[in-house]
Amino acid sequence: MRRKVVAGNWKMNKTNEEGIETIKELRNLVGEYKNVDIVIGAPSIMLADLAKVSAGSNVKIAAQNMYPKDSGAFTGEISPVMLKSIGIEYVILGHSERREYFHESDEFINQKVKSALAHGLTPILCIGEKLEERETGKTLEVNSKQIKGGMAGLSVEEAKKVIVAYEPVWAIGTGKTATPEMAQATHKEIRKVIEDMFGLEVSNGTIIQYGGSMNAANAAELMAQPDIDGGLVGGASLDAKVFEVIIKAGN
């Protein structure tokens, strides 16, 4: 049985104080949920404080991005060494907003995945097709390319540590969730791509989250699908009480 992982993605929202308050509230609400891993992806400026506020609880903190070098002349960037030094355990990589607005390629994302793994960070590798790609029958092709690119060159042991987040771009922030059946079918295809790359043991164990307008009303039905192992939740993760309902659905 795969354990569910419910991760929030705050994106570029909240002040530092608001972030701290939300984590304090969340850790009080979710302390009893033992059957789900809980992660919050926060803006980099908050990570150190949130790591402290969440310490000793079952709420883990993720970075939303990182640069695939340990240190050096990369103005404005944050390294895996820095993340580890403040107790961060997860990093969201290759989010569609980073692919779209910051032109991140599969090759660059692959460097980040490798660098994260080398430093003991768990990468949450985001993939997903755009609307026109789904409408023109390219869903599998696009997701397959992003998985093959993002996980290229990993050993079986490394591949086992990667969390995949399938986020159809047309469902992100739009309120248009994929139906549970549609999401399940795509998750199954993605798992097959992972099987072809790394074998059945890896693909059976890989956490594949769904993301894209997951909310308190649809989370349980989505996560009830056999190949949906949790969620990557944007808007509905900003409020601790709303997010708790989604976490409970994964517990």
Q: Which residues bind ligand PGA (CB under 6 A)?
A: 9, 167, 172-173, 211-214, 232-236
CB of 236 to ligand PGA, least distance (A): 6
Q: Which of 192, 229, 231, 248 is nearest to 2 (CA)?
A: 229
Residue with Cβ nearer ligand PGA (23 or 214) = 214
CB of 219 to ligand PGA, least distance (A): 10
DSSP bridge pairs for 5: 37, 230
Residue with Cβ nearer ligand PGA (163 or 233) = 233
Is 95 marked active-site? yes
CB of 189 to ligand PGA, least distance (A): 20
Active-site position among 97, 104, 133, 167: 167
Residue with Cβ nearer ligand PGA (42 or 214) = 214
Task: For residues 185 and 179, give the distance between their C-alpha atoms in angstroms, rounded to a whole number.
Answer: 10
Task: For residues 232 and 62, give the distance between their C-alpha atoms in angstroms, rounded to a whole number.
Answer: 12
3-state DSSP call for residue 106? helix
Contacts of 138 (CB under 8 A, 6+ apart): 129
Task: For residues 132 and 89, give the distance between their C-alpha atoms in angstroms, rounded to a whole number.
Answer: 35
Is 181 marked active-site? no
Annotated active-site positions, please? 95, 167
